[in-house]
């Protein structure tokens, strides 16, 4: 299978120009009432408005028509990796998200702590959503009980609440990741046995089933957290790195594990960000201090998504306005190309990610006249970039930065 | 790999309707200042305007988002051959461009005359850009010196200035074209040895290296033109012919070698055009005189590109206006379908081809209402054809000419 990334990869050249890609997580929205305004349209955004008037706009579908992207596919798409071709398992995503490096042959597994009743029947698939502290306590207990299985080193990590990650470290022979879930995704039944779906995964299935048994044994004294469920096994994804694909020295400026993990997966340097939660000031500081060192910056803003997930329209509007206030500090760095885009929509009306296209803004010296006057869903329809798929974004940024050679003579 | 061409090929039927595809080379542009007008928008084009008002418009990306097409891929795309799938090497392009027919198994190589100094170090990769006459004189000298190598007939042709083409004619066993360049693309080092990249190309590498040595020997008496560099080896591309793909008797009306070569490569008849350079009058004459004989005409206008490459905004505007004056003569032939399109953009601001989409205009009896009032980049955004990839153009023309059967029952 060949796609635009393969072509771009053969054309990319190193130059001095700098690209800043701002991802406003889940920024696309919906009106609460028929013909009403979305969160973006409701926000007062004088700086974004001014930028839009000298930019090219369009709309982007990250995966495809009608498809609601998860954060992983949404971001991979923005980074130019067609999410229908380049798939990262949830286990690998969780692992890299908490800073765990996977090696070729290893398998990472996404786990839930659960509450099991009589006859191992699942009472609660999330074990009453334990605190992160309780989670860490259980993880310490399990680490002591299951340091290895059949000579395969086992690593166990807290993710958050009921979520944890197990990494099986391959010794020589690579471990397969093609096996069935332990988590039945319903209560009232016992956990399932993991079954290998191919010969290479037979050893892994044995490891997983042994882990489940030994964990239940070790957790016998616990009231709520006395079982484990697994869903999502993954080996290490093999992607062309960002540097290899685009000849870009690339830096990630994000504060949440998932986004840092995604960026490191494609080979970006993940910069230190001071502060808690979205830490926008720390992000601007990291961007400014490292501006000379990289060709490409991925700058992530999280709260536009979280407020949408909370169904808080007014607060999402507010978070957009907060970004607008910060925008002049980004523009002051004079990026040759700046893009503002989302990794998916998260309308507060739906309290979840959605399939709606997200507005894309690109400003460079090489744009045509464009009739979009604001960075909103409605105005973006009038933009000159049209409605596109996510993997078009990086080639457009590379082209606008004059970092692509001509294709053919 | 399957694409639209494969489908269209199964649906095409022969009818009496006639299609005229006008390619204004590099016609897409950019404003010189933010939110300014492009070359097309600046031009006074009453005839194009009137035509646009009864046509459908849209925008076309010939290769893909952000990708700047060379003339080869740009034209192949317009002819319906996806340029990511159908690739023509530079050598084959040059050969067909000067009217040399390649047979299966032959290899065509693109050459530069160079100036070599002491120790064979390259002083000038273009030998001071000799005149075409000097080029021809050197080619005559080389023809005498190298009629064949190891029993393989060698043909040598002048292209222009420092450029020439060598064709190695396979005798029985086909010659491979997968070998490394002789041209290091820098000065201050000697030419490189061609290295075969696969077993089938080992004989070709020997021929190329022997040619380099014998040419240097033959050119010993020359001051400036005393070396040869090779870059771009190609065997014969295997495309479905235009006739086979579309059931069209097709004619090319162009005056520059590259475009005639591309057209002949896909099986069009290349018509004689009287006059020099762009020879627009000669082209109209050729079109008119052959109107009864073909179903499809590819009519090429070159100067819209050359002026963009020169960075001459005003002159590009002027060349567009010259085409506008000629347009009524084309319309007088009453084509059932006329398309006006570019093979890529060449903004005078960038002095080169660019990635920006080009406006597409289609007039037939079978269009819907369309709000594009001029053939410009800005108006084309309002058109009913939307933003498309180049390989969509031919199916649209075929459909509008009622030359495609229904797909499926």
Between chains, do B65 and A388 touch, taking CB under 8 Å as contact?
yes
Residues in chain B: 409
CB contacts < 8 Å between A and B, how many? Answer: 101
Rounded-to-integer distance, Cα A302 and Cα B179, Å = 50
The Cα-based distances of B70 to A408, B126, B354 in angstroms read 5, 21, 9
Average pLDDT over residues B122-150: 95
pLDDT of residue B64: 96
Average pLDDT over residues B249-272: 92
A308 with A351: CB under 8 angstroms? yes
Under 8 Å CB-to-CB from A148, ≥6 apart: which residues?
A154
Between chains, do B66 and A8 touch, taking CB under 8 Å as contact?
yes
| Smallest Cα distance from A367 to chain B, Å | 7
pLDDT of residue B198: 94
pLDDT of residue A151: 94
What letters, b where the CB count within 10 A reaches 16 and e where it falls short, cover A174-207? bbbbbbbbbbeeeeeeebbebebeeebbbbbbbb
pLDDT of residue B239: 86
Query: From the first residue on, what is the mean pLDDT of each consecutive set of 10 residues in chain A (409 residues)?
Result: 85 97 98 95 98 97 96 95 90 83 90 96 94 95 97 94 94 93 94 96 97 97 95 87 95 91 90 94 98 98 96 98 98 98 98 97 96 97 96 98 93
Gap between the terminal Cα atoms of chain A: 24
| Smallest Cα distance from B325 to chain A, Å | 26
CA angle A370, A372, A3 (to 5 degrees): 70
In which region does residue A408 sit, left (phi positive, over 0), alpha (psi from -120 to 50) or beta (all else)?
left
Provide the CATH topology of domain B4-86+239-400.
Alkaline Phosphatase, subunit A (3.40.720)
pLDDT of residue B2: 65
pLDDT of residue A263: 92
B368 with B375: CB under 8 angstroms? no
Mean of pLDDT over chain B: 95
CA A398, A400, A401, A403 torsion: positive or negative?
positive
Between chains, do A399 and B69 touch, taking CB under 8 Å as contact?
no
Average pLDDT over residues B50-67: 98
Rounded-to-integer distance, Cα B329 and Cα B253, Å = 15
Rounded-to-integer distance, Cα B116 and Cα B220, Å = 10
Q: How far is Cα of residue A332 from the mean position of the Cα atoms in its chain?
A: 27
Q: Which of A2, A368, A407 minimises the CB distance to B69? A: A407
- Architecture of domain B94-234 in this structure: 2-Layer Sandwich (3.30)
Predicted ipTM? 0.86
| Residue A340, phi then psi, degrees to nearest 5 | -125, 130
Average pLDDT over residues B168-183: 93
B234 with B89: CB under 8 angstroms? yes
What are the residue ranges spanned by the domains of chain B? 4-86+239-400, 94-234
Q: Which two tokens stand for residue B164?
A: 């020439």
**CA dihedral of A356, A362, A366, A368, whole degrees rounded to 10:** 50
Rounded-to-integer distance, Cα A297 and Cα A250, Å = 6
| Smallest Cα distance from A93 to chain B, Å | 28
| Smallest Cα distance from A259 to chain B, Å | 25
Average pLDDT over residues B117-139: 94
Rounded-to-integer distance, Cα B310 and Cα B316, Å = 9
Average pLDDT over residues B239-247: 93
Average pLDDT over residues B135-154: 96
B167 with B107: CB under 8 angstroms? yes
Report the candidate in B35, B5, B49 with the shortest Cα–Cα distance to residue B375: B49
pLDDT of residue A100: 86
DSSP letters spanning A41-93: HHS--HHHHHHHHTSEEEEEESSSTTPPPPHHHHHHHHTT--TTTS---HHHH
Mutate to test the interface with A, among B57, B65, B91, B108 (most CBs of A within 10 A): B65
Rounded-to-integer distance, Cα A208 and Cα A340, Å = 42
Task: Kindly report, residue by residue over B303-334, the tens digit of the pLDDT.
Answer: 999 999 999 999 999 999 999 999 999 999 99
Between chains, do B354 and A368 touch, taking CB under 8 Å as contact?
no
Which residue in this structure is represented by tokens 């010939």?
B62
Q: What are the chain A neighbours of B381 within 8 Å (beta carbons)?
A: 371, 384, 386
A11 with B67: CB under 8 angstroms? yes
Between chains, do B67 and A7 touch, taking CB under 8 Å as contact?
yes
The domain A4-85+239-400: what is its CATH number?
3.40.720.10
CA A340, A343, A345, A351 torsion: positive or negative?
negative
pLDDT of residue B258: 84
B317 with B43: CB under 8 angstroms? yes
A263 with A224: CB under 8 angstroms? no
Over 90: is that where the pLDDT of B80 sits? yes
Average pLDDT over residues B114-139: 95
Q: Which two tokens stand for residue B80?
A: 């319906």
pLDDT of residue B191: 97
B335 burial (CB, 10 Å; 0-12 / 13-18 / 19+) is buried
pLDDT of residue B115: 97
pLDDT of residue B36: 94
Between chains, do B64 and A2 touch, taking CB under 8 Å as contact?
no
DSSP letters spanning B217-268: HHTTT-SS--EEEEEEEE-------HHHHH---EEEE--SHHHHHHHHHTT-
Q: Which two tokens stand for residue A185?
A: 């995704």
């Amino acid at each position: 299978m060949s796609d635009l990334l393969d072509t771009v990869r053969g054309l990319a050249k190193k130059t001095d120009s700098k690209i800043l890609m701002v991802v406003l997580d889940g920024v696309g929205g919906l009106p609460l009432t028929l013909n009403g305004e979305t969160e973006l349209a409701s926000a007062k955004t004088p700086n974004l408005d001014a930028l839009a008037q000298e930019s090219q706009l369009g709309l982007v579908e990250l995966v495809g028509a009608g498809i609601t992207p998860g954060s992983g596919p949404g971001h991979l798409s923005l980074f130019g990796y067609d999410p229908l071709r380049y798939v990262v398992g949830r286990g690998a995503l969780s692992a890299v998200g908490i800073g765990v490096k996977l090696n070729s042959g290893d398998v990472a597994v996404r786990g839930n702590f659960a509450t099991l009743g009589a006859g191992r029947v699942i009472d609660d698939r999330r074990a009453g959503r334990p605190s992160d502290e309780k989670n860490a306590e259980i993880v310490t207990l399990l680490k002591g009980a299951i340091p290895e299985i059949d000579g395969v080193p086992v690593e166990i990590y807290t993710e958050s609440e009921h979520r944890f990650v197990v990494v099986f470290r391959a010794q020589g022979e690579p471990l397969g990741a093609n096996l069935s879930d332990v988590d039945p995704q319903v209560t009232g039944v016992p956990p399932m046995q993991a079954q290998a779906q191919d010969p290479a995964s037979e050893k892994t299935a044995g490891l997983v089933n042994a882990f489940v048994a030994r964990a239940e044994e070790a957790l016998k004294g616990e009231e709520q957290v006395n079982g484990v469920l697994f869903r999502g096994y993954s080996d290490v994804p093999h992607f062309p790195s960002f540097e290899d694909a685009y000849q870009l020295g690339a830096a990630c400026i994000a504060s949440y594990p998932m986004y840092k993990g995604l960026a490191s997966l494609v080979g970006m340097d993940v910069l230190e960000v001071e502060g808690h939660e979205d830490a926008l000031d720390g992000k601007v500081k990291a961007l400014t201090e490292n501006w000379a060192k990289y060709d490409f910056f991925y700058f992530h803003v999280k709260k536009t998504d979280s407020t949408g997930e909370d169904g808080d329209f007014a607060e999402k509007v507010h978070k957009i306005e907060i970004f607008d206030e910060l925008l002049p500090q980004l523009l002051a760095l004079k990026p040759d190309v700046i893009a503002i885009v989302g990794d998916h929509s998260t309308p507060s009306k739906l309290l979840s990610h959605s399939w709606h296209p997200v507005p894309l803004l690109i400003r460079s010296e090489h744009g045509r006249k464009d009739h979009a006057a604001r960075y909103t869903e409605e105005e973006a329809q009038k933009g000159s970039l049209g409605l596109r798929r996510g993997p078009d974004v990086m080639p457009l940024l590379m082209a606008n930065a004059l970092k692509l050679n001509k294709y053919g003579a």
